[in-house]
Amino acid sequence: MAPAPESTDTIAGRLSELLHRLNAGQKLDPKALAEEFKVNLRTIQRDLKERLHFLELERQHGLYHINVQRLGQLTPQDIERFAAVAGLQGLHPRLGTELLKDLLDSRLQSLQIRGHHYEDLSGREDDFRRLKQAIEHRHPIGFRYRKAEGEKIVEGIEPYKLVNQNGIWYLSACDRGALKSYAFTKISALLVSDERTFEPDPTVVSTLAQEDSIWLNLKKTEVVLKVNSEAADYFRRRKLIASQKIEKELADGGLLVSCLIAHPNQILPIVRYWLPNVRVISPEALQDELEQQLRRYLGQE
Could you report the per-residue pLDDT of 186-234, keeping only the tens digit for each? 999 999 999 899 999 998 888 787 776 666 666 778 999 999 999 999 8
The residue among 23 and 301 whose pLDDT is bigger is: 23
Please report the sign of the dihedral spanned by the C-alpha atoms of residue 74, residue 166, residue 208, residue 274: negative
The residue among 78 and 17 whose pLDDT is bigger is: 17
pLDDT of residue 4: 41
pLDDT of residue 159: 95
pLDDT of residue 220: 79
The mean pLDDT of the chain is: 79
Percent of the chain with pLDDT over 70: 73
Kindly list the domain boundaries of the chain, sorted by start residue: 6-84, 109-210, 221-297
Q: How far is CA 196 from the centre of its chain?
A: 28
pLDDT of residue 172: 92
Plot region of 287 (φ>0 → left; ψ -120 to 50 → alpha; else → beta): alpha
163-173 residue pLDDT tens = 877 667 889 99
Percent of the chain with pLDDT over 90: 35
Counting Cα atoms < 13 Å in the Cβ hemisphere of 17 gives: 11
Among 241, 183, 179, smallest CA distance to 206 is for 179
249-290 residue pLDDT tens = 999 999 999 998 878 888 888 899 999 999 999 999 999 999
Cis peptide upstream of residue 283 (ω within 30 degrees of 0): yes
pLDDT of residue 149: 87
Is the predicted pLDDT of residue 81 greater than 70, yes or no? Answer: no
The residue among 186 and 85 whose pLDDT is bigger is: 186
Please report the sign of the dihedral spanned by the C-alpha atoms of residue 211, residue 214, residue 219, residue 221: negative
Please indicate, yes or no, whether the overall pTM of this predicted structure exceeds 0.75. Answer: no
Instruction: Please state which of the ranges 10-19, 55-64, 121-130 shows the lowest mean pLDDT.
Output: 10-19
pLDDT of residue 231: 92
Contacts of 107 (CB under 8 A, 6+ apart): 10
Q: Which fold has domain 221-297?
A: Alpha-Beta Plaits (3.30.70)
- For the segment 27-47, the average pLDDT, to the nearest whole number, is 90
Confidence of residue 243 (pLDDT cuts 50, 70, 90): confident
**Do 154 and 199 contact (CB within 8 A), yes or no?**
no
Is the predicted pLDDT of residue 47 greater than 50, yes or no? Answer: yes
pLDDT of residue 274: 92
Confidence of residue 238 (pLDDT cuts 50, 70, 90): confident
pLDDT of residue 114: 53
- For the segment 93-101, the average pLDDT, to the nearest whole number, is 45
Secondary structure class of 59 (helix, strand, coil) = strand
- Which of 12-26, 73-87, 203-217, 218-232 reaches the highest mean pLDDT? 218-232
Characterize the bridge pairing of strands 178-183 and 187-192: unpaired
Cβ burial 183-193 (10 Å sphere, 16+ → b, else e): bbeebeebebe
Confidence of residue 95 (pLDDT cuts 50, 70, 90): very low
Confidence of residue 10 (pLDDT cuts 50, 70, 90): low
Tell which CATH classification among 3.40.50, 1.10.1740, 1.10.10, 1.10.287 matches the domain 6-84. 1.10.10
The overall longest dimension of the chain from CA atoms, in Å, is: 81
Q: Name the E strands within 132-220.
A: 141-147, 150-165, 168-175, 178-183, 187-192
**Do 58 and 46 contact (CB within 8 A), yes or no?**
no
pLDDT of residue 52: 79
Helix and strand counts by DSSP (H, E) for the chain = 10, 12
